[in-house]
Amino acid sequence: MTPAEICTKLQEKFGADVVSALVEAASPYVVVKTERIAEVAAFCKADPALVLDNLLCLSAVDFHKEKEPRMEVVYHLFSYTHFHRFALKVHVPREGARVPTVEATWGAANWHEREAWDLFGIVFDGHPDLRRILLPDDWEGHPLRKDWTDPDFYRGMRVKPTEQMADKAMKGEEFGTGPFQHDPFNAHVPVSGGEA
């Protein structure tokens, strides 16, 4: 099916629960009402014309300069049966961000949802094991939110760069100097015939 056909099918099935769509994009998508995402996801996987049986990626985005709702969750889907791709999106408010889990539809969503919670603070209602997956259990906050500020210390270790560290990082390192000279690349390695 074409992206336009997938969009039409979803609009026919879910009506006003499909809030908007963009099918002429590199990654065509529909935006659905947040509270209906689990039902839409199950339909996308089970419908014989769609069979979007693979959740390629679940990602979250924080649009810090926009008005509420400022965050969205994106479900990138693929069909091994029909070889088509499509995406579903839901918009959530920044404070109290909650989305129904789709883990029952795509088992891979388990870890993806944990990552989105860990880094963005989006709660996935009904998730069987919503806990941190990348950061330590005692970490405070969600570092991919746009208003995140690095703590100065974590467990007694300095984690915020000092001014000296920041200056070095901002200046960068001159490429091709020191023991890893790359001009010409690997000049120190002899090539066949004994040339260097």
Residue 177, burial from CB neighbour count under 10 angstroms (0-12, 13-18, 19+): exposed
- pLDDT of the residue at 176: 47
Chain centroid, CA 187 distance in Å? 41
- pLDDT of the residue at 164: 77
Tens digit of pLDDT at every position of the chain (196 positions): 999 999 999 999 999 999 999 999 999 999 999 999 999 999 999 999 999 999 999 999 998 877 887 899 999 999 999 999 999 999 999 889 999 999 999 999 999 999 999 999 999 999 999 999 999 999 889 999 988 888 888 888 887 777 877 777 677 655 445 555 455 555 555 656 555 4
HSE-up of residue 22 (Cα within 13 Å, Cβ side): 6
- pLDDT of the residue at 149: 83
- pLDDT of the residue at 183: 52
Distance CA 50, CA 73 (A): 21
